[in-house]
Amino acid sequence: MRHSHGVHQAVLGVVSRNPEGIHGYAVRLQGERLLGHFWRLNFGEIYRILDRLAADGLIEQIAGGESVRKVYRITPRGQRSLDDYVLSPQTDAPRPLRQELAVKLLFASSEHLPELLRLVARQRDAYLQELHTLGAERRKMHRAPFDAFVTHLMIDGAELAARAEIAWLGEVATRLRERYGAGATGNATA
Protein backbone atom coordinates (compact mmCIF):
# COMPACT_ATOMS: atom_id res chain seq x y z
CA MET A 1 0.00 0.00 0.00
CA ARG A 2 1.45 3.41 -0.92
CA HIS A 3 1.67 6.07 1.77
CA SER A 4 -1.13 8.41 0.87
CA HIS A 5 -4.53 9.64 1.89
CA GLY A 6 -5.62 6.02 1.32
CA VAL A 7 -3.38 4.81 4.15
CA HIS A 8 -5.02 7.25 6.56
CA GLN A 9 -8.42 6.07 5.38
CA ALA A 10 -7.37 2.43 5.80
CA VAL A 11 -6.42 3.10 9.43
CA LEU A 12 -9.67 5.02 9.89
CA GLY A 13 -11.54 2.05 8.39
CA VAL A 14 -9.92 -0.39 10.82
CA VAL A 15 -10.85 1.90 13.73
CA SER A 16 -14.43 2.10 12.38
CA ARG A 17 -14.78 -1.68 12.56
CA ASN A 18 -14.17 -1.53 16.31
CA PRO A 19 -16.93 0.61 17.88
CA GLU A 20 -15.82 -0.48 21.37
CA GLY A 21 -12.42 1.05 20.64
CA ILE A 22 -9.04 -0.18 19.45
CA HIS A 23 -5.40 0.57 20.27
CA GLY A 24 -2.55 1.07 17.80
CA TYR A 25 -1.06 -2.40 18.15
CA ALA A 26 -4.43 -3.97 17.32
CA VAL A 27 -4.88 -1.56 14.38
CA ARG A 28 -1.66 -2.87 12.87
CA LEU A 29 -2.59 -6.51 13.47
CA GLN A 30 -6.09 -6.11 12.04
CA GLY A 31 -4.73 -4.16 9.07
CA GLU A 32 -2.26 -6.93 8.31
CA ARG A 33 -4.96 -9.56 8.78
CA LEU A 34 -7.39 -7.78 6.44
CA LEU A 35 -4.91 -6.63 3.81
CA GLY A 36 -2.17 -9.23 4.23
CA HIS A 37 0.79 -8.80 1.92
CA PHE A 38 -0.41 -5.33 0.91
CA TRP A 39 -0.25 -3.80 4.39
CA ARG A 40 3.24 -2.75 5.36
CA LEU A 41 3.18 -0.11 8.09
CA ASN A 42 5.32 -0.11 11.20
CA PHE A 43 4.04 0.84 14.64
CA GLY A 44 5.53 4.33 14.45
CA GLU A 45 3.58 5.04 11.26
CA ILE A 46 0.38 3.67 12.79
CA TYR A 47 0.70 5.89 15.86
CA ARG A 48 1.53 8.98 13.77
CA ILE A 49 -1.58 8.35 11.65
CA LEU A 50 -3.73 7.78 14.76
CA ASP A 51 -2.44 11.06 16.24
CA ARG A 52 -3.22 12.88 12.97
CA LEU A 53 -6.73 11.38 12.77
CA ALA A 54 -7.37 12.40 16.40
CA ALA A 55 -6.07 15.94 15.78
CA ASP A 56 -8.43 16.18 12.78
CA GLY A 57 -11.37 15.08 14.92
CA LEU A 58 -11.93 11.87 12.93
CA ILE A 59 -11.27 9.57 15.90
CA GLU A 60 -11.33 10.15 19.62
CA GLN A 61 -9.39 8.67 22.47
CA ILE A 62 -11.57 6.84 24.99
CA ALA A 63 -10.82 5.40 28.40
CA GLY A 64 -8.83 2.23 27.93
CA GLY A 65 -9.96 0.50 31.10
CA GLU A 66 -7.03 -0.86 33.06
CA SER A 67 -4.76 -0.70 30.03
CA VAL A 68 -2.21 2.08 29.69
CA ARG A 69 -2.64 1.95 25.91
CA LYS A 70 -4.47 4.70 24.10
CA VAL A 71 -7.77 3.35 22.81
CA TYR A 72 -9.54 5.07 19.90
CA ARG A 73 -12.95 4.97 18.28
CA ILE A 74 -14.29 6.71 15.22
CA THR A 75 -16.29 9.93 15.61
CA PRO A 76 -19.39 10.80 13.58
CA ARG A 77 -17.20 13.21 11.61
CA GLY A 78 -14.72 10.39 10.98
CA GLN A 79 -17.50 8.08 9.79
CA ARG A 80 -18.71 10.75 7.34
CA SER A 81 -15.13 11.22 6.11
CA LEU A 82 -14.71 7.47 5.63
CA ASP A 83 -18.07 7.18 3.84
CA ASP A 84 -17.17 10.11 1.56
CA TYR A 85 -13.82 8.50 0.77
CA VAL A 86 -15.35 5.09 0.04
CA LEU A 87 -17.94 6.58 -2.32
CA SER A 88 -15.67 9.08 -4.11
CA PRO A 89 -14.08 8.28 -7.48
CA GLN A 90 -10.61 6.81 -7.34
CA THR A 91 -7.88 9.42 -7.76
CA ASP A 92 -4.78 7.35 -8.41
CA ALA A 93 -3.94 7.07 -12.08
CA PRO A 94 -2.13 4.13 -13.63
CA ARG A 95 1.56 4.34 -12.85
CA PRO A 96 3.84 5.19 -15.76
CA LEU A 97 6.13 2.45 -16.95
CA ARG A 98 9.47 3.33 -15.40
CA GLN A 99 11.55 0.23 -15.67
CA GLU A 100 15.15 0.45 -14.56
CA LEU A 101 15.78 -2.39 -17.00
CA ALA A 102 14.64 -0.18 -19.90
CA VAL A 103 17.31 2.41 -19.03
CA LYS A 104 19.96 -0.31 -18.90
CA LEU A 105 18.87 -1.66 -22.29
CA LEU A 106 18.86 1.82 -23.77
CA PHE A 107 22.54 2.36 -23.01
CA ALA A 108 23.93 -1.18 -23.22
CA SER A 109 26.03 -2.37 -26.13
CA SER A 110 25.25 -5.56 -27.97
CA GLU A 111 28.46 -7.25 -26.80
CA HIS A 112 26.89 -7.34 -23.33
CA LEU A 113 24.05 -9.58 -24.48
CA PRO A 114 24.87 -12.45 -22.06
CA GLU A 115 24.95 -10.06 -19.11
CA LEU A 116 21.73 -8.37 -20.23
CA LEU A 117 19.99 -11.73 -20.52
CA ARG A 118 21.13 -12.57 -17.00
CA LEU A 119 19.64 -9.27 -15.77
CA VAL A 120 16.35 -10.14 -17.47
CA ALA A 121 16.43 -13.63 -15.93
CA ARG A 122 17.13 -12.18 -12.47
CA GLN A 123 14.20 -9.79 -12.81
CA ARG A 124 12.00 -12.66 -13.97
CA ASP A 125 13.08 -14.71 -10.94
CA ALA A 126 12.10 -11.81 -8.65
CA TYR A 127 8.59 -11.78 -10.15
CA LEU A 128 8.36 -15.57 -9.86
CA GLN A 129 9.26 -15.21 -6.17
CA GLU A 130 6.56 -12.56 -5.85
CA LEU A 131 4.04 -14.99 -7.36
CA HIS A 132 5.14 -17.61 -4.82
CA THR A 133 4.66 -15.10 -1.98
CA LEU A 134 1.23 -14.14 -3.29
CA GLY A 135 0.26 -17.81 -3.49
CA ALA A 136 1.23 -18.24 0.16
CA GLU A 137 -0.84 -15.16 1.06
CA ARG A 138 -3.81 -16.59 -0.86
CA ARG A 139 -3.55 -19.91 1.02
CA LYS A 140 -3.31 -18.03 4.32
CA MET A 141 -6.43 -16.02 3.45
CA HIS A 142 -8.38 -19.22 2.70
CA ARG A 143 -7.83 -20.21 6.34
CA ALA A 144 -8.68 -16.76 7.69
CA PRO A 145 -11.53 -16.61 10.21
CA PHE A 146 -12.95 -13.50 8.50
CA ASP A 147 -14.22 -12.46 5.09
CA ALA A 148 -11.11 -11.92 2.95
CA PHE A 149 -12.99 -11.08 -0.27
CA VAL A 150 -11.20 -7.76 -0.89
CA THR A 151 -7.82 -9.24 -0.01
CA HIS A 152 -8.43 -11.97 -2.59
CA LEU A 153 -9.23 -9.29 -5.18
CA MET A 154 -5.97 -7.50 -4.33
CA ILE A 155 -4.01 -10.75 -4.61
CA ASP A 156 -5.67 -11.40 -7.99
CA GLY A 157 -4.57 -7.97 -9.22
CA ALA A 158 -1.02 -8.40 -7.94
CA GLU A 159 -0.76 -11.85 -9.54
CA LEU A 160 -2.00 -10.52 -12.88
CA ALA A 161 0.53 -7.68 -12.72
CA ALA A 162 3.39 -10.08 -11.88
CA ARG A 163 2.37 -12.45 -14.69
CA ALA A 164 2.28 -9.51 -17.12
CA GLU A 165 5.81 -8.51 -16.06
CA ILE A 166 7.02 -12.10 -16.51
CA ALA A 167 5.49 -12.22 -20.00
CA TRP A 168 7.07 -8.86 -20.87
CA LEU A 169 10.48 -10.03 -19.63
CA GLY A 170 10.15 -13.14 -21.80
CA GLU A 171 9.44 -10.90 -24.77
CA VAL A 172 12.44 -8.70 -23.91
CA ALA A 173 14.76 -11.74 -23.82
CA THR A 174 13.40 -13.07 -27.12
CA ARG A 175 13.79 -9.74 -28.88
CA LEU A 176 17.29 -9.17 -27.50
CA ARG A 177 18.35 -12.58 -28.83
CA GLU A 178 16.74 -11.88 -32.21
CA ARG A 179 18.37 -8.50 -32.56
CA TYR A 180 21.82 -9.10 -31.07
CA GLY A 181 22.21 -12.84 -30.90
CA ALA A 182 24.62 -13.61 -33.72
CA GLY A 183 27.68 -11.37 -33.94
CA ALA A 184 25.87 -8.07 -33.45
CA THR A 185 28.01 -5.03 -32.67
CA GLY A 186 27.38 -1.47 -31.64
CA ASN A 187 24.93 0.17 -29.32
CA ALA A 188 21.86 -1.83 -28.24
CA THR A 189 19.65 1.06 -29.29
CA ALA A 190 20.99 1.26 -32.83
Cβ-contact 110, 185 below 8 angstroms: yes
Considering only residues 186 and 92, tell me which one the structure prediction assigns the higher pLDDT.
92
Mean pLDDT (the chain, rounded): 84
Q: Is the pLDDT of residue 184 over 90?
A: no
pLDDT of residue 64: 60
Q: Is the pLDDT of residue 117 over 70?
A: yes
Long-range (24+ apart) CB contacts under 8 A made by 2-5 are: 2/92, 3/45, 4/92, 5/85
pLDDT of residue 35: 74
